[in-house]
Homo-oligomer: A and B are copies of this chain.
Amino acid sequence: MMRGNAIVGQSGGPTAVINASLCGVIEACRQYPEIERCLGMRFGVQGFLESDVIDLYQEAPETIEALKRTPSSALGSCRYKLRDEDFPRLLEQLQRFNIRYVFLIGGNDTMDTIHRLEEFCRKQNYPMLGVGIPKTVDNDLFGTDHTPGYGSAARYVAISVRQAGMLARDMRRVDQFVIFQTVGRSAGWLAAASALAKSAEDDAPHIILVPERPFDRDKFLADVKRVYDKFGWCSVVCGEGITYPDGRPVSQATVTDQFSNVEFGAMGGTSAAMMLHRMISQTYGWRGEFQVCESLQMCAADRVSEIDLEEAYACGREAVRLASEGVSGMMVSIRRESSQPYRYRLDTVPLAEVAIKAKPMPDEFISAEGNYVTEAFLEYARPLVGPLPEYVRLKGYKVGA
């Protein structure tokens, strides 16, 4: 094993368990005396380019251990797309800090970063091993059964939709519908996970809209009406990135206030949930609400899925173990061995493949009508999210007057 330092960085949007992966990397590095220090990039490669580097071995062991239950990106994150001219500078930094092991925790852009850096170093004859650790609440990384971070965000979504669904049911004589929006621009994995909230037929959610299917306004409004006629209220969950058949986002709208008349563009925003809310209330005259939690679903450490936490930590450790065996240019992946009972093992996938491919929901996970998920999806998602809190419902023994 090469003697030298390791460095670890975090990129892209945080998750509730990305720091568990960080903890795994640091704790595993300690087991290899050849790894002299485990350094951390502040704010990913962007900070690394600026020499914003910290020594993680100097942190108190209790702090490192507590990272497992600390949400967000303890090192700071970035969304920096490397330019070709950055590579010589990166190599200089690796030499300067005597780094032989690079671990990045992130999504496909991050995997692309390690992949290109690893290739550049090889060409420059600088011995370095680079291993990627998967992370994204969106679950759209290629080459792994699922990504650390997804299970916990999915759990946040399912708990929220279960609780708000009970509220909407009990308030149906006041408000007639509720819309919950999840993150996930191009994949519907999180919106789909809301289906775990349902145990009885009338439970929320009733309609799930994913970006994998074009949004059909007329069908949507008819679906909402059908649900309302049956139950007296309606719960809709939508992914933020749903689009019309011609590709325009449902969230597209212009907003003017009392001061000026400026169109919302990249800066600022309306949301898909708001536009759906408006369609329903204007078509049927119903009252309702829309819920847009944004990054709250990425950092709810108190709603973490225990298996997600375990896997995130294990992926961090595994990256170091792989590097100790000379593996490079790979991302740790999770292979499912069984759903009931749930069993997984860690595997690898070439970074080059992860970097260029995405993973939308497959057809067999989306209902034929495109407005809900299938039993196959529920079997897939259930073990990742873990058991949800159970609540009771009164039987309601009617009293004859």
Contact = CB atoms under 8 A, between A and B. Distances in A.
B399 A97 contact: yes
Interface stretch (A279-287, A335-343, A351-359): A279-287
Contacts of A248: 258
Given A393-B74, A394-B63, A299 B253 contact: no
A293 B290 contact: no
Interface in A240-289: 248, 252-258, 262, 264, 267-270, 274-275, 277-278, 281-282, 285, 287, 289
A349 interface: no
Nearest to A69: B391
A172 B248 CA distance: 29
Nearest to A178: B295
A394 B255 contact: no
Interface stretch (A49-57, A118-126, A305-313, A316-324): A49-57
A172 B66 CA distance: 23
B397 A54 contact: yes
Given A253-B255, A282-B262, A397-B58, A71 B174 contact: no
Nearest to A295: B167
A301 B388 CA distance: 12
Contacts of A262: 282
Nearest to A171: B77
Interface string A387-401: 001011111111101
B282 A278 contact: no
Nearest to A11: B174
A73 B171 contact: yes
Interface in A69-124: 69-80, 93, 96-97
B256 A254 contact: yes
Interface stretch (A37-45, A190-198, A374-382): A37-45
A292 interface: yes
Contact of A301 (B71, B169, B294, B389): B389
30 contacts: A13-B171, A40-B394, A42-B396, A53-B401, A58-B397, A60-B395, A63-B395, A70-B166, A71-B166, A72-B166, A72-B167, A74-B392, A77-B174, A96-B401, A163-B300, A167-B295, A168-B295, A178-B295, A248-B258, A253-B257, A254-B255, A256-B256, A267-B281, A268-B277, A268-B278, A268-B281, A269-B274, A301-B389, A302-B302, A302-B303
